[in-house]
Amino acid sequence: MRLIAGVDIGNSTTEVCVGEVSENGTLTFHAGSSCPTTGTKGTVENVHGIKTALSQAMEKIGKTLDSLYCVRLNEAAPVIGDTAMETLTETIITDSSMIGHNPATPAGAGQAVGEILVYEHLMRAVKDTPYIVAVSREHPYEEIAAQINLLADRLQITGLILQADEAVLVYNRLHKKLPIIDEVLHIDRLPDGVLATIEVALPGQTIRMLSNPYGIATLLQLNAEETRAVTPIAKSLIGKRSAVVLKTPGGNVHENVLPAGEIYLNGKETISINLDEGAEKIMKAVSAAGDIYDISGQSDTNVGNMFTRIKQGMSQLDPTSASDIRITDILAVDTLAPVLISGALAGETCLEKAVGIAAMVKTQKLPMQEIAARLKTELGTDVTVAGVEAVMASLGALTTPGTKLPLAILDMGGGSTDAAVISENGQVTMTHQAGAGELVSMLIETELGLGDRRIAEQIKKYPLAKVESLFHMRMENGQMTFVEDSIDPRFFGRVILLTENGYVRIEQDIPMEKIVQVRRDAKRKVFTANAFRALKKVAPCHDLKNISNVVLVGGSAQDFEIPEMLMEAFAEYRIVCGRGNIRGTEGPRNAVATGLVLSYIGKQI
């Protein structure tokens, strides 16, 4: 009797399968385990994680590591599934042309037009001129409200702009209700005497006039050329709860296209494509390049620096010479990124065009033999590098009930999406594509402006709900769920994540519907697009209609919505697609490790 362990070193997780082979060649699976990968995939730092996963699996069957007959490793080429975000446009404002805004608690509702009047200059105001009064935080809300009430009959005050977060406090004390905007950080930069317009939307709504160039033109009486000039302003104010636009003759607002740089795809021939062409054209160029040997970028540009940074990162992890480190695939995705507006007065951001890129990096030499030698020394047992990852995953996927040859697999991990087709005669065609779970997390983090990759990861993995009372919540699908025990008051009125360990509150004030939309769009852009791209490469005659069955394996196949998305996407091709259930017990995980154990039997025949 021999205990055989298969070890799959992944980008994020190291998985183990332990099987027992009898003297007559019968294989019995005993246990599986997983733990986080230590170090970058395919480097000697993986040894610690491998030993941890092996120990966990052996403990399940009451055995120690020295009971193992041999350990079989996948050929884990060092792959960096790196991601980067390159902004293609930026909005630049000079001469205090606008201060688009989105405070949490403006007060009042509607639009107001008038000259900016600094609070300290109230005594200079004249009777028949409309004013919007700007007040610094040096003045308490009681004083502001009392002074505005005192002057309400004598002056034509149409609105207020406050530096402190006190709009509601002032509004509640006014005899004549006005639209009030607060939390304007650099209120001292407001030019006194300049014509301005403000707008505050009703609760639950967004502004309508100032997010429309013709609305701004109506309020500030602009001509056609001036209306064209304020279009970037209107664009930056879309979705805001409140806003201010100033009419300054010397003001200049323009949308700048950043020099992102050229991408050079070295395949059958060298193809160049500019990053600012957008993701669709970039991916068409990647497809046209065929089998890509290396990808590089124009020197001293955003994209060139990104590719250089990725290769330098790999050279620090692997002793391979720099000339042997190659980027063999990229996935580009169009997105929007909140970027600080140059020249804005309150730290406002604007959603700018951007391209997210995932890159796959490979080296000429695999350090797997060094990993195997280190494990052999530390475990005192035979360790071999036994198989290519996609081939082993195909073998493991065949243990899913209801599958047969020919069969296609999609292995969706953290850094890459791998695909393979195994024909009826056992021939395997495979491909490795850049882009998977890490790129999805980056898109979620960027588009929602989270500034926290950890919460972006959780948003990717778990469904959402809105706590509407201490005893019920509204799920993201609209279903109302009631609970017997009172919900912690900290979650009341907040969007939460439903994790296996309890509720996690989303600290940012983002509507649940927007989070769901961004999450689903990110998954479609990455997983659905990459699934089609990968399967077309490995399908007979590169035609998806020649594939009848697809088994989804890997960590991302456990996602609560990705498999359903792919099932819908493949429906028109009449492809049977679903999560794998490796060995009938493991779900979509453990396919490669299981395949490594199965391949041992094949070697013995």
What CATH number is given to the structural domain containing 176?
A: 3.50.30.70
**Do both 226 and 104 map to the same domain?**
yes
> What secondary structure does DSSP assign to 329-358, as a single string?
EEEEEEEEEEEEPBT-SS--EEEEEEEEEE
The per-residue pLDDT for 1 is 77
The per-residue pLDDT for 415 is 78
Q: Residue 467 pLDDT > 60, yes or no?
A: yes
pTM of the complete model beyond 0.75:
yes
**Do both 374 and 352 map to the same domain?**
no
Q: Write out pLDDT tens, residues 141-185.
A: 999 999 999 998 889 999 999 999 999 999 999 999 999 999 887
Of 198, 220, 254, which residue sits at a domain end?
254
- Indicate the pLDDT class of residue 105, thresholds 50, 70 and 90: confident
Q: Residue 528 pLDDT > 90, yes or no?
A: yes
Q: Residue 96 pLDDT > 60, yes or no?
A: no
CATH of the domain at 430: 3.30.420.40
The per-residue pLDDT for 605 is 44
The per-residue pLDDT for 250 is 54
Candidate from 112-121, 414-423, 439-448 with smallest mean pLDDT: 414-423
Sheet of 82-87, strands arranged across: 82-87, 349-363, 325-340
- Find out whether the peptide bond into 249 is cis, omega within 30 degrees of 0: no
The per-residue pLDDT for 155 is 92
| 429 or 97: which leads in pLDDT | 429
**Do both 67 and 132 map to the same domain?**
no
Q: Write out pLDDT tens, residues 354-396.
A: 888 888 877 655 568 889 999 999 999 999 998 888 788 889 9
**Do both 548 and 434 map to the same domain?**
yes
**Do both 449 and 493 map to the same domain?**
yes
The per-residue pLDDT for 95 is 45
**Do both 42 and 179 map to the same domain?**
no
Which 3 state secondary structure label does DSSP give 461? helix
Of 306, 335, 363, which residue sits at a domain end?
363
CATH of the domain at 281: 3.90.470.30
What is the Cα–Cα distance from 9 to 72, expressed in whole angstroms? 11
Mean pLDDT value across residues 530-556: 91
Q: Write out pLDDT tens, residues 185-225.
A: 778 878 888 899 999 998 878 899 998 999 999 998 888 88
What is the Cα–Cα distance from 397 to 487, expressed in whole angstroms? 42
What count of Cα atoms within 13 Å lies in the side-chain half-sphere of residue 140?
2
502 CB contacts (<8 Å, ≥6 apart)? none
Mean pLDDT value across residues 587-603: 89
- Indicate the pLDDT class of residue 551, thresholds 50, 70 and 90: very high
- Indicate the pLDDT class of residue 243, thresholds 50, 70 and 90: confident
The per-residue pLDDT for 365 is 54
Q: Write out pLDDT tens, residues 57-79.
A: 999 999 999 999 999 998 866 55
299: exposed, middle or buried (Cβ count in 10 Å: 0-12, 13-18, 19+): exposed
**Do both 494 and 547 map to the same domain?**
yes
Residue 466 domain boundaries: 402-580
The per-residue pLDDT for 465 is 96
**Do both 42 and 169 map to the same domain?**
no
Amino acid at 340: L
Q: Which residue has the tokens 């027992």?
A: 20
**Do both 124 and 250 map to the same domain?**
yes
The per-residue pLDDT for 255 is 54
Q: Which residue has the tokens 């006194």?
A: 192
**Do both 287 and 222 map to the same domain?**
no
**Do both 249 and 264 map to the same domain?**
no
The per-residue pLDDT for 86 is 61
Q: How many structural domains compose the chain?
A: 4
% of the chain residues with pLDDT over 70: 88
The per-residue pLDDT for 322 is 62
**Do both 58 and 68 map to the same domain?**
yes
Averaged pLDDT of the chain:
86
Q: Write out pLDDT tens, residues 260-278.
A: 788 999 988 889 998 878 8
245: exposed, middle or buried (Cβ count in 10 Å: 0-12, 13-18, 19+): buried
